[in-house]
Amino acid sequence: MKKIAFFLGKGGVGKTTISATVACQMSRSGTKILIVSLDPAHNLGDVFQTKLTNEKRPLDTNLDGMEIDLSAWVARYLDESRKEIKANYAYHSAINVDSYINILKYSPGTEEYAVLWAIEHIYQEYAAACDLIIFDTPPTALTLRFLAMPSITSLWVRELSAMREKILKKRQTILAINPDAAIVKNFSPAGADASEETPVQGAMDKKDDQIYIKLSGIGKRLAELQRLFSRESYLSVVVNPDTLSLAEALRIREELGRLGVHINSVCLNKASPEGAGRENVEKNFGDCPVFMSRLLAEGVRAVSDLGVIDVEGVKNDIKAAR
C-alpha cells in the first residue's frame, strides 16, 4: 500500500464525503489513518461533527484528522523566506525586506508553495506513525497548481543553478588573472556598520557558494516532493454522473499526465441504483478502474452514515497499490 492518497475533482462532487468514508471504513478494519483537509473551505470537521485545526486530533479508533490553516502556512512560508534572505544574502540591507515579503504574500504561487510545505511537513511528521495519510483536496485549479509546483519549479532551479555556475567560473577566471581581485576579498555592504554585518566572501567553488548550496537544497526538496506525488501517492478522481465533472476529471488526468503523475482510479459518486453514467466514465477512463458509490437520498447527516456508503472497490485498490 502506498503512503498517501489524494482525492481530486471538481468542487461539489463529494471529495470530502468519499475521502472521509474511505478513512473511516479503513480505520475500522485496522488501518491507522490520518485524514487531512487541504481545502480552504473546510468541510471535513462538519462530516465528523467536530472542530478540526492545524493540529491532528483523534476522530475514532485508528483515525486522526486535521484541517490545514492555509493562511497560517502562508505566513510560515513568508517568515521562512524573510529569515533566509537576511541570513544568506548580503544585499538584504540595501532593500526593504519586509516590504518585499508583504508584496510576495499576494504573488502568484505563494498559496501553492504554502500547501506544498504543509504536505511535506505532514508527511515527515506523521507518516511513520500511520499506515496511510488521506488528503481531501481543494477544487481543481489550486490542486493542479500545487501538484505541478515541484516539476515546474525544478526547471527554474536547474536554470538558476546553471547561471550561478557560470558566475562562479567567471570569478575563477578573474582570480587567475588577478589574485588580488576584490571579488575574492571579504567585504561588507556599503554604508553598513561593520559591527553588525558579517563579512561576506565571494565564493569561487560551488561547495563554498551559499547561493548555489541553497539552490541545490531547494532542488533536492522539490525532487523528493515530485517523487512523493508520482511514486508514493494514490490518486483517485471523484466525478458525478454529469458532463461537467467528467470533463474536469479528464482535464485533471491530462494535466497530471504531463507531469508524470498518474490517476489510479475514478470514483463515480452520487450514482443512481441503475448506475447511470458509469458506461460513459469507463469509456473515457479505459485505463483506470471505475468504482461506484450510490447516492444517499438524504445525504450524510451523521458519522454513522459513512459506514453504509459503498467504497469497497476503491478501498481494496488503495490497499493493493504498490
Query: Chain centroid to CA 230: how far?
Result: 12
pLDDT tens digit sequence for 222-261? 889 999 999 999 999 999 999 999 999 999 999 999 888 9
Q: pLDDT class for 22, splitting at 50, 70, 90? A: very high
Say which of 39, 64, 136, 317 is annotated catalytic.
39
Average pLDDT estimate for 7-16: 92
User: What's the CA gap between 45 and 52, in Å, rounded?
Assistant: 5
Comparison of pLDDT for 322 and 300, the residue scoring more: 322
The pTM (predicted TM-score) of the whole model is 0.82
* Predicted local confidence at residue 110, as pLDDT: 81
DSSP 4-49: EEEEE-STTSSHHHHHHHHHHHHHHTT--EEEEE--SS--HHHHTT
User: What's the CA gap between 218 and 230, in Å, rounded?
Assistant: 18
Least Cα distance to 60 among 48, 69, 51, 75 occurs for: 48
* 27 phi, psi to nearest 5 deg: -65, -35
pLDDT tens digit sequence for 178-212? 777 665 544 444 444 444 444 445 566 787 777 78
How are strands ordered across the β-sheet holding 265-271? Answer: 57-60, 63-67, 33-37, 132-136, 4-8, 233-239, 265-271, 290-294
* Predicted local confidence at residue 200, as pLDDT: 44
Cβ contact 77:110 at 8 Å:
yes
Sequence-distant (≥ 6) Cβ neighbours of residue 168 within 8 angstroms: 203, 204, 205, 206, 209, 212
* 259 phi, psi to nearest 5 deg: -100, 5
* Predicted local confidence at residue 182, as pLDDT: 62
Q: pLDDT class for 95, splitting at 50, 70, 90? A: low
pLDDT tens digit sequence for 32-42? 999 999 988 77
92-96, 108-112, 181-185, 287-291, range with greatest mean pLDDT? 287-291
| Percentage of residues in the chain having pLDDT higher than 70 | 84
Is 93 a residue whose pLDDT tops 70?
no
CA angle 215/75/98 to nearest 5° reads 75
209 catalytic residue (yes or no): no
| Domains present along the chain, CATH in parentheses | 4-320 (3.40.50.300)
User: What's the CA gap between 317 and 136, in Å, rounded?
Assistant: 18
Cβ contact 266:290 at 8 Å:
yes
